[in-house]
Amino acid sequence: MLIGVLALQGAFREHQEMLSALGVESRQVRKPEQLEGIDGLIIPGGESTTIGKLLQDYNLFEPVRQKALQGMPVFGTCAGLILLAREILGSAQPRLGLMDMVVERNAFGRQVESFEVDLDVPVLGEKPLRAVFIRAPYIVSVGPGVEVLARYGDKIVLARQGRFLACAFHPELTDDTRLHRLFLEQC
């Protein structure tokens, strides 16, 4: 199995380290031809405006969208979640729009409000998941085809739509590999 990690900006190295800990090969994706032959794509955390701009400038938007629509599994964390959303509140920034959800950026506040917390994620079992939220977004609402997998308080922070998985926090910054394994089951 070969997983692509979008490496335009952000925490792509951490995702690669996590995949390698799981014995899975990965490849950095910066250009369309690097999408060839991958079994899934991770869009890491970073600045969603920066990543969106670079996706546009280097003609990656359509190739990623097309491959995803043809069945390539995609996992977006934080900025990746924003890029996967159909609608971003108050923003016209470029997005892939693959998941039927409305998201809000920087929804918990600025960096001093960033936090970590033990999160209940029933689909991963009883043990809570340590979730690191950094200037994080959350999912305001989802369409009928989207499964809500975790909430923090009343806010949706993990969701799945078919082969697309999105979380508002950073599993790649912890040692817990369960969410990555959940994604790899789709690949």
Partner 1 sequence: MEVAEKGTWTVKKGLAEMLKGGVIMDVTTPEQAKIAEEAGACAVMALERVPADIRAAGGVARMADPTVILRIMDAVTIPVMAKVRIGHFVEAQILEQLGVDYIDESEVLTPADEQHHIDKHKFKVPFVCGARNLGEALRRIAEGAAMIRTKGEPGTGNVVEAVRHMRMMMAEIRRVQNMPREELMALAKEMGAPYELLLQVAEQGRLPVVNFAAGGIATPADAALMMQLGADGIFVGSGIFKSQNPAARARAIVAATTHYNDPQVLAEVSKDLGEAMPGLEIATIAPEQRMQDRGW
Q: Which residues bind partner 1 (CB under 8 A)?
A: 7-14, 30, 45-47, 49-50, 53-54, 57-58, 78-79, 91, 105-106, 109-119, 128, 132-135, 152-153, 170, 173-174
**Contact in structure between 83 and 43 (CB atoms under 8 Å):** yes
Q: Which is nearer to partner 1, 31 or 181 (CB)?
A: 31
Cβ-based nearer residue to partner 1, 40 or 44:
44
Kindly state the smallest distance separating residue 121's Cβ from partner 1, in Å.
Answer: 12
**Which one, 128 or 162, has the nearer CB to partner 1?**
128
- Asked if 142 and 149 count as a contact pair (C-beta separation under 8 A), the reply is no
- Distance (Å, whole) CA 28 – CA 17: 12
Q: b/e map of 116-140 (b: 16 or more CB within 10 Å)?
A: eeebebeebeeeebbbbbbbbbbbb
CA distance 171 to 128: 12
Quote the least distance from Cβ 163 to partner 1, whole Å.
25
CB of 96 to partner 1, least distance (A): 17
Catalytic residue numbers read: 78, 170, 172
